Amino acid sequence: MKLESQNNTHNTIPLSNEAILEIANSVAQGEDTELWEELTLSLLFESSPEMRKLNREFRDIDRATDILSFPDREGEELPFPSFFLGDLVIAPEVVERHAKSYGVSLQYEYSFVLVHGLLHLFGYDHQEKGEQKVMREKEKFYMQKLGFDGVSR
């Protein structure tokens, strides 16, 4: 997988691009994406005020959130594979606040939100109870696969 990453904040992200790619590749391979090596992921780190604007615009929720996912072609059937997976937007201030409130490391919380966002890009959701159960099981599976066995939030 290829990564396009931009940090528009003053926060230091505790994951290297290599660690981010390891997480993304783990999820892509686990979701049986045949051409996972050809995929491109766009990752943007934004301030809480900017994330609040995006959350309000795209979800009608007037508060900052930790991550927003924008699949490249949500719900579209294509006659050819799309190699752009989508965009993930992360608000480091929110992630760091969540890490503190959940009592987990920054590395864990950033890894968790990346897994969560990637699962959205692969079509998972958690709006309905059944969907939520499947997504939580997937999150737990990938976090264990990444070495966070026994850690939870």
pLDDT tens per residue across span 42-54: 999 999 999 999 9
* Domain residue ranges of the chain, discontinuous segments joined by +: 2-145
pLDDT tens figures, 65-81:
999 999 986 555 544 45
Residue 136 has pLDDT above 60, yes or no: yes
CA atoms within 13 A on the CB side of 63: 3
- DSSP-derived letter for residue 37 is G
The yes/no answer on whether domain 2-145 falls in CATH 3.90.1150.10 is no
Could you tell me if 73 and 82 are in contact, meaning their C-beta atoms sit under 8 angstroms apart?
A: yes
What's the pTM value of the predicted model, to 2 decimals? 0.90
